[in-house]
Structure 1
Amino acid sequence: MAATPIFAPELFIPNGVRDVDFYINGLGASELRRFSNDDGTIHVSELSIEGAVFHLHEETRNPRSFSPVRHQGSTVTIGLFVDDVDAYMARAIEAGARIGSPAQDYDYGYRQGDVVDPFGHVWMFESRI
Protein backbone atom coordinates (compact mmCIF):
# COMPACT_ATOMS: atom_id res chain seq x y z
CA MET A 1 0.00 0.00 0.00
CA ALA A 2 1.42 3.39 -1.00
CA ALA A 3 1.88 6.09 1.62
CA THR A 4 -0.04 9.33 1.28
CA PRO A 5 2.32 12.10 0.19
CA ILE A 6 3.05 14.68 2.86
CA PHE A 7 4.63 18.01 2.01
CA ALA A 8 7.50 18.76 4.43
CA PRO A 9 9.65 21.71 3.31
CA GLU A 10 13.29 21.97 4.32
CA LEU A 11 14.31 25.55 5.07
CA PHE A 12 17.98 26.42 5.07
CA ILE A 13 19.42 28.54 7.87
CA PRO A 14 22.94 29.96 8.17
CA ASN A 15 25.61 27.80 9.77
CA GLY A 16 26.25 28.47 13.44
CA VAL A 17 22.62 29.00 14.53
CA ARG A 18 21.80 27.94 18.09
CA ASP A 19 18.36 29.46 18.61
CA VAL A 20 15.27 28.77 16.51
CA ASP A 21 12.76 29.87 19.14
CA PHE A 22 11.13 32.20 16.61
CA TYR A 23 9.34 29.19 15.12
CA ILE A 24 8.09 28.09 18.54
CA ASN A 25 7.14 31.55 19.83
CA GLY A 26 6.18 33.19 16.53
CA LEU A 27 4.43 30.35 14.72
CA GLY A 28 3.38 28.04 17.54
CA ALA A 29 5.60 25.22 16.28
CA SER A 30 6.73 22.30 18.40
CA GLU A 31 10.26 21.01 17.98
CA LEU A 32 10.04 17.27 17.37
CA ARG A 33 13.75 16.47 17.03
CA ARG A 34 17.06 18.25 16.86
CA PHE A 35 20.42 17.12 15.55
CA SER A 36 23.26 19.31 16.79
CA ASN A 37 26.82 19.70 15.63
CA ASP A 38 29.71 19.03 18.03
CA ASP A 39 29.82 22.74 18.94
CA GLY A 40 26.12 22.79 19.88
CA THR A 41 24.92 24.60 16.77
CA ILE A 42 21.92 23.26 14.88
CA HIS A 43 22.47 20.85 12.05
CA VAL A 44 18.77 19.93 11.64
CA SER A 45 15.66 20.86 13.61
CA GLU A 46 12.40 19.07 12.83
CA LEU A 47 9.35 21.13 13.73
CA SER A 48 5.58 20.82 13.46
CA ILE A 49 2.78 23.37 13.33
CA GLU A 50 -0.36 21.43 14.25
CA GLY A 51 0.85 18.36 12.36
CA ALA A 52 2.43 20.20 9.40
CA VAL A 53 6.09 19.14 9.55
CA PHE A 54 9.02 21.18 8.29
CA HIS A 55 12.76 21.08 8.79
CA LEU A 56 15.41 23.69 9.41
CA HIS A 57 18.77 22.64 8.04
CA GLU A 58 22.08 24.44 8.22
CA GLU A 59 23.45 25.50 4.85
CA THR A 60 25.33 22.84 3.01
CA ARG A 61 28.00 23.11 0.39
CA ASN A 62 25.36 22.38 -2.27
CA PRO A 63 25.26 25.56 -4.39
CA ARG A 64 21.55 25.06 -5.12
CA SER A 65 20.51 25.01 -1.44
CA PHE A 66 21.05 28.17 0.56
CA SER A 67 19.52 30.32 3.25
CA PRO A 68 17.74 33.48 2.06
CA VAL A 69 20.30 35.58 3.95
CA ARG A 70 23.00 34.58 1.47
CA HIS A 71 21.16 36.18 -1.46
CA GLN A 72 19.02 38.66 0.50
CA GLY A 73 15.82 37.10 -0.75
CA SER A 74 13.86 33.90 -1.03
CA THR A 75 12.74 31.86 -4.00
CA VAL A 76 9.67 30.51 -2.20
CA THR A 77 6.80 31.65 0.01
CA ILE A 78 5.58 29.12 2.55
CA GLY A 79 1.78 29.26 2.65
CA LEU A 80 0.17 28.29 5.93
CA PHE A 81 -3.62 28.03 6.10
CA VAL A 82 -4.80 29.16 9.53
CA ASP A 83 -8.07 30.05 11.24
CA ASP A 84 -7.01 33.60 12.17
CA VAL A 85 -4.59 35.33 9.79
CA ASP A 86 -4.38 38.46 11.95
CA ALA A 87 -3.51 36.52 15.10
CA TYR A 88 -0.71 34.65 13.30
CA MET A 89 0.61 37.91 11.84
CA ALA A 90 0.65 39.59 15.26
CA ARG A 91 2.31 36.62 16.97
CA ALA A 92 5.02 36.33 14.32
CA ILE A 93 5.76 40.06 14.38
CA GLU A 94 5.94 40.07 18.18
CA ALA A 95 8.48 37.21 17.97
CA GLY A 96 10.73 39.06 15.52
CA ALA A 97 9.30 38.75 12.01
CA ARG A 98 8.83 41.80 9.82
CA ILE A 99 5.77 42.50 7.70
CA GLY A 100 6.09 41.63 4.03
CA SER A 101 2.47 42.37 3.11
CA PRO A 102 -0.18 43.35 5.66
CA ALA A 103 -3.19 41.07 6.04
CA GLN A 104 -6.07 41.92 3.74
CA ASP A 105 -9.06 40.36 2.03
CA TYR A 106 -8.78 39.57 -1.67
CA ASP A 107 -11.61 39.29 -4.19
CA TYR A 108 -10.62 35.71 -5.01
CA GLY A 109 -11.84 34.63 -1.57
CA TYR A 110 -8.79 34.62 0.68
CA ARG A 111 -7.50 36.74 3.53
CA GLN A 112 -3.71 36.76 3.29
CA GLY A 113 -0.72 38.48 4.80
CA ASP A 114 2.94 37.60 4.85
CA VAL A 115 5.92 38.07 7.11
CA VAL A 116 9.65 37.54 6.73
CA ASP A 117 11.11 35.48 9.56
CA PRO A 118 14.47 36.27 11.20
CA PHE A 119 16.27 33.93 8.76
CA GLY A 120 14.69 35.53 5.67
CA HIS A 121 11.99 32.92 4.94
CA VAL A 122 8.65 34.32 3.76
CA TRP A 123 5.53 32.93 5.46
CA MET A 124 2.08 33.69 4.03
CA PHE A 125 -0.77 33.21 6.47
CA GLU A 126 -4.04 32.64 4.67
CA SER A 127 -7.62 31.63 5.21
CA ARG A 128 -10.69 31.31 3.01
CA ILE A 129 -13.27 34.01 3.59
Structure 2
Amino acid sequence: MSQSSEIVRGFALHLVVEDVDKSVSWYQAALGATVTRVLRMPGGAVATAELDVHGLAVALAAPVPGTKLATPSATGTSVAAYRLVVADADAAMRQAVAAGSTVSAEVHDAFWGVRTGEILDPSGHRWAFDQQLREVSVEEIEKRLAELVAGS
Protein backbone atom coordinates (compact mmCIF):
# COMPACT_ATOMS: atom_id res chain seq x y z
CA MET A 1 0.00 0.00 0.00
CA SER A 2 1.24 3.47 -0.75
CA GLN A 3 1.78 5.81 2.16
CA SER A 4 -1.17 8.03 1.16
CA SER A 5 -3.63 5.10 1.13
CA GLU A 6 -2.36 3.35 4.26
CA ILE A 7 -5.17 2.19 6.52
CA VAL A 8 -5.04 3.60 10.01
CA ARG A 9 -6.30 1.22 12.67
CA GLY A 10 -9.31 2.41 14.58
CA PHE A 11 -12.97 2.99 14.05
CA ALA A 12 -15.36 5.79 14.89
CA LEU A 13 -19.06 6.34 14.38
CA HIS A 14 -20.51 9.65 13.24
CA LEU A 15 -24.22 9.60 14.05
CA VAL A 16 -26.79 12.16 13.03
CA VAL A 17 -29.11 12.92 15.95
CA GLU A 18 -32.19 15.08 16.40
CA ASP A 19 -30.88 17.02 19.41
CA VAL A 20 -27.15 16.88 20.18
CA ASP A 21 -27.41 18.07 23.81
CA LYS A 22 -30.25 15.64 24.61
CA SER A 23 -28.38 12.83 22.87
CA VAL A 24 -25.17 13.52 24.80
CA SER A 25 -27.12 13.23 28.05
CA TRP A 26 -28.75 10.00 26.87
CA TYR A 27 -25.42 8.44 25.79
CA GLN A 28 -23.90 9.32 29.16
CA ALA A 29 -26.82 7.87 31.15
CA ALA A 30 -27.63 4.88 28.94
CA LEU A 31 -24.22 3.78 27.70
CA GLY A 32 -21.80 5.31 30.21
CA ALA A 33 -20.25 7.57 27.56
CA THR A 34 -17.80 10.31 28.40
CA VAL A 35 -17.53 13.54 26.43
CA THR A 36 -14.10 13.99 24.87
CA ARG A 37 -14.67 17.17 22.84
CA VAL A 38 -17.45 19.57 21.85
CA LEU A 39 -17.22 21.71 18.72
CA ARG A 40 -19.46 24.77 18.52
CA MET A 41 -20.82 26.86 15.67
CA PRO A 42 -20.08 30.62 15.64
CA GLY A 43 -23.40 31.31 17.40
CA GLY A 44 -22.63 28.82 20.18
CA ALA A 45 -24.79 25.91 19.02
CA VAL A 46 -23.15 22.50 19.20
CA ALA A 47 -21.79 21.40 15.81
CA THR A 48 -20.42 18.05 16.96
CA ALA A 49 -20.05 16.32 20.31
CA GLU A 50 -17.39 13.64 20.46
CA LEU A 51 -17.82 10.82 22.95
CA ASP A 52 -16.00 7.75 24.16
CA VAL A 53 -18.38 4.81 24.56
CA HIS A 54 -16.27 2.11 26.21
CA GLY A 55 -13.37 2.72 23.84
CA LEU A 56 -15.50 3.41 20.76
CA ALA A 57 -15.25 6.95 19.41
CA VAL A 58 -18.74 8.29 18.65
CA ALA A 59 -19.43 11.73 17.19
CA LEU A 60 -22.93 13.18 17.39
CA ALA A 61 -24.13 15.94 15.09
CA ALA A 62 -27.48 17.42 14.10
CA PRO A 63 -28.77 17.05 10.53
CA VAL A 64 -27.17 19.54 8.15
CA PRO A 65 -29.65 21.34 5.88
CA GLY A 66 -28.97 20.68 2.21
CA THR A 67 -27.40 17.25 2.80
CA LYS A 68 -28.86 13.76 2.77
CA LEU A 69 -27.74 13.06 6.35
CA ALA A 70 -30.77 12.20 8.46
CA THR A 71 -31.68 10.32 11.61
CA PRO A 72 -33.31 6.89 11.56
CA SER A 73 -36.38 8.47 13.19
CA ALA A 74 -36.69 10.97 10.34
CA THR A 75 -36.38 8.30 7.65
CA GLY A 76 -38.42 5.64 9.45
CA THR A 77 -35.66 3.06 9.09
CA SER A 78 -32.31 2.02 10.48
CA VAL A 79 -29.53 0.51 8.40
CA ALA A 80 -27.37 -0.77 11.25
CA ALA A 81 -27.34 -2.04 14.81
CA TYR A 82 -24.32 -1.07 16.88
CA ARG A 83 -23.34 -3.94 19.15
CA LEU A 84 -21.53 -3.44 22.46
CA VAL A 85 -19.95 -6.42 24.19
CA VAL A 86 -20.86 -6.15 27.87
CA ALA A 87 -20.36 -8.22 31.02
CA ASP A 88 -24.09 -8.24 31.84
CA ALA A 89 -26.64 -7.72 29.06
CA ASP A 90 -29.57 -7.53 31.49
CA ALA A 91 -27.90 -4.78 33.55
CA ALA A 92 -26.95 -2.84 30.39
CA MET A 93 -30.55 -3.02 29.17
CA ARG A 94 -31.92 -1.88 32.54
CA GLN A 95 -29.54 1.10 32.50
CA ALA A 96 -30.49 2.04 28.95
CA VAL A 97 -34.22 1.71 29.63
CA ALA A 98 -33.90 3.80 32.81
CA ALA A 99 -32.29 6.51 30.64
CA GLY A 100 -35.37 6.58 28.39
CA SER A 101 -34.52 4.06 25.66
CA THR A 102 -37.15 2.29 23.62
CA VAL A 103 -36.77 -1.50 23.76
CA SER A 104 -36.44 -2.95 20.28
CA ALA A 105 -35.70 -6.56 21.31
CA GLU A 106 -35.96 -7.93 24.84
CA VAL A 107 -32.90 -9.58 26.35
CA HIS A 108 -32.70 -13.25 25.35
CA ASP A 109 -30.22 -16.06 24.87
CA ALA A 110 -29.36 -16.20 21.18
CA PHE A 111 -28.37 -19.38 19.38
CA TRP A 112 -24.99 -17.91 18.37
CA GLY A 113 -23.86 -17.96 22.01
CA VAL A 114 -24.67 -14.52 23.42
CA ARG A 115 -27.28 -13.07 25.72
CA THR A 116 -28.47 -10.01 23.84
CA GLY A 117 -31.05 -7.24 23.84
CA GLU A 118 -31.56 -4.18 21.67
CA ILE A 119 -32.74 -0.61 22.28
CA LEU A 120 -33.29 2.52 20.21
CA ASP A 121 -31.64 5.80 21.18
CA PRO A 122 -33.67 9.05 21.06
CA SER A 123 -32.93 9.47 17.32
CA GLY A 124 -33.73 5.86 16.41
CA HIS A 125 -30.21 4.40 16.23
CA ARG A 126 -30.15 0.71 17.26
CA TRP A 127 -27.82 -0.39 20.05
CA ALA A 128 -27.47 -4.00 21.15
CA PHE A 129 -25.82 -5.38 24.26
CA ASP A 130 -24.06 -8.73 23.77
CA GLN A 131 -22.91 -10.84 26.70
CA GLN A 132 -20.81 -13.83 25.64
CA LEU A 133 -22.30 -17.04 27.08
CA ARG A 134 -20.55 -19.79 25.16
CA GLU A 135 -18.53 -20.53 22.06
CA VAL A 136 -20.67 -21.85 19.21
CA SER A 137 -19.21 -23.53 16.14
CA VAL A 138 -19.80 -22.12 12.67
CA GLU A 139 -21.47 -25.42 11.77
CA GLU A 140 -23.97 -25.13 14.63
CA ILE A 141 -24.78 -21.51 13.78
CA GLU A 142 -25.25 -22.38 10.10
CA LYS A 143 -27.50 -25.31 11.05
CA ARG A 144 -29.70 -23.02 13.16
CA LEU A 145 -29.78 -20.41 10.38
CA ALA A 146 -30.91 -23.08 7.91
CA GLU A 147 -33.68 -24.13 10.32
CA LEU A 148 -34.81 -20.51 10.65
CA VAL A 149 -34.87 -19.98 6.88
CA ALA A 150 -36.73 -23.26 6.31
CA GLY A 151 -39.31 -22.29 8.94
CA SER A 152 -40.04 -18.86 7.47
TM interval, shorter chain, is 0.7 to 0.9
Following superposition of structure 1 onto structure 2, how do residues 1-129 of structure 1 map, counting pairs within 5 Å?
A: 4-14=8-18, 17-19=20-22, 20-60=24-64, 61-63=66-68, 65-129=69-133
Q: Percent identity?
A: 28
Instruction: Count matched residues.
Output: 127
| RMSD across aligned positions (CA) | 1.8
Higher relative contact order (CA 8 A, sep 6+): 1
Question: What's the CA shift string for 1:48-83, capped at 9, x where partnerless?
Answer: 1222111112212321x2111211221111111111
2:15 match: secondary structure? strand
2:119 match: secondary structure? strand
Larger Cα-atom Rg:
2
- Compute the TM-score of the two structures, normalised by the length of structure 2: 0.76
- Compute the TM-score of the two structures, normalised by the length of structure 1: 0.88
The structure where helix makes up a greater share of residues is: 2
Q: Which structure 1 segments of 5+ residues have no match?
A: none
